[in-house]
Amino acid sequence: MHRIQATIKLSALQHNLAVARTRAPQSRIVAMIKANAYGHGLVPAARALGDADVFGVTDINEAETLSKAGLNKPVLILQGLIDKADILRVVHGNYQLVVHRPEDLVWLEETLDSISVKTPLTLWLKLDSGMGRLGLTAGEFAMLHAALKRKSWVGEIIALTHLANAGMPDNALNRQQLDCFSSLMQQEELAGPSQSIVASAGLFTLQNNSAWARPGLMLYGSSPFSWHDESRRSHSLGLKAAMKLEARLISIREHSTGDSIGYNSWFICPEPMRIGIVSAGYADGYPAMTPNGCPVMIAGKRTTSVGRVSMDMMAIDLTDLPQAEIGMPVELWGNNISVDEVACHTGTISYELLSAVAERVPRIHV
């Protein structure tokens, strides 16, 4: 490591994928590697997750990046069509596509009815069962399903819905969404399509017998549940942290009572203190608004952040750590400091911390 580094353990990704499989032994797995594999590096993560059945990405560009890297596993484009011109690229790459609005049918018909498509497309029809984000109403779903299943350019149709509150297992919306989806699936004219409901959280809390599961976060070793739910922290779920984010200790200074540390005097030393400066800041993806007291680890011991995080630096308390020396690595998250704990302390979610690790941070895949 020079200044800062994210070390990505590929064996942890493989371990976590195996955990996902044990949670849904009858399901095939869409490994969600969108957003640069939640910050872990799209192509290396895809190579490590070769045991998945399909890769899930955000858009056609991520799909094509995988193809260009020589990965030829099926790829599902979660946001579907951003632009009508995406359709020919989808056909050319033989990608699978989420269809989530009636307009998609019009675009697809206008483009594909008049040409011959060698390999019919696999389409994932998305129902909005209560998430209130992307998806068709039940009426639109039935209409699009009827229209699409007659098209020569359509191969398999898979029915998909996404749960808004699966990370809150007792929330009533979970049951409402499941009921909404299953009542639609019971309609006679809709018999047939295989189904996909759960992502990481649902894999741990629901009966999983759908044909397809779509885990993302858990593959990276993070828990989709609240840090306050101790029984569902990542190690209790059997997951291993894939990313270790570390940076160097670049300065150590002794301070007196009343000294101010960092911008806007967010921290005033209440007693004489030894303060270390770590070369990691918000331009590396560490949250600027991190409150005092966020855990870090140095020399095998936990300590905490003090003061506001700067662009490229942050301060930590070394008062009780005489063994800390300039040049030592400081773990910001990884095996010892859970990214889930940092997310809880900083008022965000681990999804954001992991996927926001900046491009300038070297990712070393081991």
Ligand X SMILES: Cc1ncc(COP(=O)(O)O)c(C=O)c1O
* C-beta closer to ligand X: residue 197 or 318: 197
Does 232 participate in binding ligand X (rule CB under 6 A)? no
Minimum CB distance to ligand X smaller for 123 or for 306: 123
Q: Supply the residues annotated as catalytic.
A: 34, 263
Q: Which part of the chain contacts ligand X (CB under 6 A), choosing from 209-217, 246-254, 272-280, 314-322?
A: 209-217
**Cα separation of 10 and 48, whole Å?**
6
DSSP state of 120: P
Cα-trace Rg, the chain? 23
Amino acid making up residue 333 = W
Residues from 260 through 319 that contact ligand X (CB under 6 A): none
Query: Within 160-179, which residues bind ligand X (CB under 6 A)?
Result: 162
Give me the residue whose beta carbon is nearest to ligand X.
216
DSSP type of residue 300: T
- Span of 99-107, 210-218, 253-261, 287-295 interacting with ligand X by CB under 6 A: 210-218
If one asks whether residue 32 binds ligand X (CB under 6 A), the answer comes out as yes
Q: Of the candidates 81, 217, 245, 249, which one interacts with ligand X according to CB under 6 A?
A: 217
The CA-CA-CA angle for residues 110, 113, 119, to 5°, reads 120
By beta-carbon proximity to ligand X, the closer residue of 218 and 342 is: 218
- Please give the Cα distance from 340 to 351 (Å, whole number): 9
Please report whether residue 23 would count as binding ligand X according to CB under 6 A.
no
Residue in the structure block whose two tokens are 């858990």: 218
217/278 with CB nearer ligand X: 217
Question: Which residue of 46, 52, 76, 78 would you call a contact of ligand X, by CB under 6 A?
Answer: 78
SS3 call for 251: strand
Does position 205 interact with ligand X (CB under 6 A)? The reply is no
Single residue of 16, 96, 200, 305 touching ligand X by CB under 6 A: 200
CA atoms within 13 A on the CB side of 6: 26
Q: Which stretch binds ligand X (CB under 6 A): 39-47, 60-68, 170-178, 212-220?
A: 212-220
- Under the binding rule (CB under 6 A), the answer on residue 75 touching ligand X is no
The helix/strand/coil state of 44 is helix
Strands 54-57, 28-32: pairing kind? parallel
**Among 241, 235, 199, which residue's Cα sits nearest to residue 220?**
241
Could you give the 3-state DSSP secondary structure of residue 267? Answer: strand
Closest separation in Å from C-beta 222 to ligand X: 9
Strands (DSSP E) found in the chain: 4-8, 28-32, 54-57, 75-77, 96-99, 121-127, 154-161, 194-196, 212-213, 243-255, 260-261, 267-268, 273-278, 295-298, 301-306, 314-317, 329-333, 363-365
- Residue pair 129/197 in contact (Cβ under 8 Å)? The answer is no
Token pair 């004489």 is found at: 272
The minimum distance between CB 355 and ligand X, in angstroms, equals: 10
Nearer to ligand X, 202 or 285 (CB): 202
Could you say whether residue 40 binds ligand X (CB under 6 A)?
A: no
Q: Using CB under 6 A, pick the residue from 39, 41, 221, 224 that binds ligand X.
A: 224
Under the rule (CB under 6 A), what is the footprint of ligand X? 32, 78, 162, 199-201, 214-218, 224
